[in-house]
Amino acid sequence: MPLPADYHTHNALCRHATGQPTEYAARAAQLGLPEIGMSDHNPMPRDDFDDWRMRLDQLDEYVAGVEQARREHPTLAVKLALEVDYLPGGEDWIRDLAARHPWDYLIGSVHYVAEGWDLDNPNKVAEWKRREPFEVWTAYFERLTQAAGSGLFDIIGHADLAKKFCFYPNRDCTALYRGFLEAAKRRGAAIELNTAGLRKDCKEIYPSRYLLQMASQAGVLITFGSDAHAPEEVGLNFAEAVELARSTGYTHCCRFSRRRAEYVRF
């Protein structure tokens, strides 16, 4: 069974991943993937925003790295993309970035749920301990819903990232998921099956089977991503992700070229 494209990968420019885009492409070719998308963390207007993304003056170098991967792997489709942090009020910056290069797609992700708090940052787990999980999940899904409804993104990244460290809410989140999925459906944003969750404390693909079942029923489209931060992580656990997608009723996933979607059977 051929595996789907891996649409979520990083590289050394973001300062917490290893390897160059061409090495990620080499791994994708070795695995027989039809496509790989490079989607490193976006630069911010201020380079001191945090310490886990490329500097703004490295954006051209990033694009050149993706072009090099294309040249060195001519039989593989190599997509140019970014994983973009969604911050309310930051929409103009995202439009600015979107216009700078011929991106194939943009992944919109929520990592920051409050000023200075990226909820998946292992150095900031203390922030979780000061709050009720449901309060954080609510803030997270409100932002994710805004991201999906903004129309700025082709794909929404790791849709239940809040589960990473296993701070689970003791209340039902169905209404939060529904609001998010309605926004995604309305704006035609896909969600990804992101296998990195299997490598975290939660030991589960993002999003959960429950959320994915709701997404399938709502007619929300999907992509697949490893969220690789090292070349050997490309395509990791994709067989499991495909199985999950099929078992929730999916037969097709999206591919993107210059921000136009096509649907392919997987």
**Which one, 20 or 34, has the nearer CB to Zn ion?**
20
**Per-residue b/e over 44-68, b at no fewer than 16 CB within 10 Å?**
beeeeebeebbeeebbeebbebbee
| Rounded distance between C-alpha atoms, residue 237 and residue 234, angstroms | 9
User: Which residue has the CB atom at the shortest distance from Zn ion?
Assistant: 109
Which one, of 159, 213, 161, 143, lies nearest residue 191 by Cα?
159
DSSP 8-state secondary structure symbol assigned to residue 9: B
**Complex with Zn ion: residue 39 or 248, whichever CB lies closer:** 39
The interface region with Zn ion, picked from 57-65, 104-112, 237-245, 246-254 by CB under 5 A, is 104-112
Nearer to Zn ion, 109 or 195 (CB): 109
Tell me whether residue 58 or residue 252 sits nearer to Zn ion (CB atom). 58
DSSP lists the bridge partners of residue 228 as 9
**Shortest Cβ 253–Zn ion spacing (Å):** 19
CA angle in degrees (0–180, nearest 5) for 189-124-43: 50
CA distance 39 to 78: 11
**16 CB-contact burial (10 Å; exposed 0-12 / middle 13-18 / buried 19+):** exposed
Looking at the Cβ atoms of 109 and 150, the one nearer to Zn ion is: 109
Minimum CB separation from Zn ion for residue 157, in Å? Answer: 5
Q: In the complex with Zn ion, which residue's Cβ is closer, 34 or 98?
A: 98
Output the smallest distance, CB 138 to Zn ion, in A.
20
Contact 249, 72 (CB under 8 A): no
Options 73-81, 107-115, 197-205, 213-221: segment touching Zn ion (CB under 5 A):
107-115
Count, residues near Zn ion per rule CB under 5 A: 1
Examine residue 145 and tell whether it contacts Zn ion (CB under 5 A): no
What's the min distance (Å) between Cβ of 32 and Zn ion?
25
Nearest to 106 by CA among 118, 91, 117: 91
CB of 195 to Zn ion, least distance (A): 13
Tell me: does residue 109 bind Zn ion (CB under 5 A): yes
Shortest spacing between CB 225 and Zn ion, in angstroms:
9
Contact call for residues 78 and 102 (beta carbons, < 8 A): no
Binding site for Zn ion (CB under 5 A): 109
